[in-house]
Amino acid sequence: MAIIVTFDLPGAGQELYDAVIARVTDGRGFARFADVGDPGLVSHAAGPVDGGFRVTEVWESAEALEAHAKTFGPILADLGHADLQPTIIPAYNVVVR
């Protein structure tokens, strides 16, 4: 079952997001899904919110997210955000272009 994952980064800005993306993609940047190499990622959006930054993703399954977390988690921990707990809900409907 697809899931919707929201990461809220209070007090963080685009700098943290860019640092994470640079590490996840070995400096290539993230302009297409192939850049992250995780086949279970369906959509990704990120932007500023009051007091921080938010990333919202859709994953094909919780297992796909867990596989990605093995790469993503240590990077966040190294950047001082080991305690980040995303909000995860089941997706009822996902429409992509």
Residue of 33 and 90 predicted with greater confidence? 90
User: At 52, is the pLDDT very low, low, confident or very high (cuts 50, 70, 90)?
Assistant: very high
Question: According to the model, what pLDDT value does residue 66 have?
Answer: 94
HSE of 67, CA atoms in CB hemisphere, 13 A: 12
Measured between its terminal Cα atoms, the distance across the chain in Å is: 19
pLDDT in tens, 11-43: 999 999 999 999 999 999 999 888 888 889 999
Exposure string of 53-78, with b = 16+ CB inside 10 Å and e = fewer, is bbbbbbbbeeebbeebeeebeeebee
Question: Looking at residue 82, what is its pLDDT?
Answer: 86
Supply the pTM of this predicted model.
0.91
Q: How confident is the model at residue 64 (pLDDT cuts 50, 70, 90)?
A: very high
Task: Please say if the pLDDT value at position 78 is more than 90.
Answer: yes
